Structure 1
Amino acid sequence: MSQKVIRLIVFIIFITVSMSNIAYAQVPNRSQAFGPKVTDLQNKEDIINSFKQINVIRANLTIINVKSTTPTEELKSIDTNLEGYINQLRIIRANLVKHADTYANSISDVFFAEQIVAISDCYIISLKHQQLLVRALESDVQETSTLFYSTYMIPIYYYITQGDQLVAYTQTYLVIS
């Protein structure tokens, strides 16, 4: 009986060694795109530059220090800064809409421009909500006294997060060639 077990083990080892197509995970030879491929952009530098400008503006929006006790002069200064960011984003947005209209015959240009317009819209809306909060603080609205629990904060975080998610999607899944 032990001789049969030894023969069986030898036979299994022989079969295992002689098999050439053993299943295992392989690293792909070349990287593959995850999402849609945007090709033949007619003014690629302009549209990518707009995307970079939006990312620069977003990087500057990290912290706006507002408290329920912030002095009115400082609130007005913050409101002015927010308006400046909004105007910059509106200029970029207008350029992207103009780009989409100019190259309306190119689905890639229209698609990519509209993708970036959606990002700029999210940031503009978030900044507008921040302005509403700052102006409510200036007017001494009761609800703003508990800033953390204020309903003003929900849309601010929602739209800025949505914009960040669209940026991450665009950088991760879109392939521009």
Structure 2
Amino acid sequence: MTDAINELAAEAAAAYPGGTVYAYAAQDAVTARILVVEEGGPAFPEGRNIGAPDDDVTGKWAGILEGAGFEPGMWSWWNAIPCGLDRPLTADDKARGAKYLKRAIALHPHLEVVLAVGLVAQQVVGTARPSARVLKTRSPLRTGAGQREEIRGMFERARLDAYPFGFHRED
């Protein structure tokens, strides 16, 4: 189910000077109602298995996702800067990121919530103007337990907005 997302990621990496392709692996990604948009670009110069339940590179995501009641298949993942970069971001990078984000959103026909994680993601999501509800939170990188609890709370809010009757129930 992530083939279309990975094809778009490969196209994006080719369009960015010095871009390194990301590999997305969220389970049942295109049927998910939640799209998590993280920074990407120079913040994550390499990305494999992005959005998979076991993708816990920073040691912080698993607790946030599990604590918010996320189950595999509820979410998809995309990076605001959709490829790894070994250089500072430019305004053109962010504008290009918004164009690719719009295309990534179009791949998700059941999308209810876009969760923008971090300042760059919030900027790019704001430019893309998705029709789905947008929630914003900070990145869990360089945060303490209290701040991660706030982030977990925002993820829980996204889950409740997208799945008010639960994941395995019909609306």
Q: Which has the higher strand share?
A: 2
Q: Which has the higher helix share?
A: 1
Is the pair's TM-score, using the shorter chain for normalization, greater than 0.5?
A: no
Instruction: Kindly indicate whether structure 1 or structure 2 has the higher relative contact order, using CA contacts under 8 Å at least 6 residues apart.
Output: 1
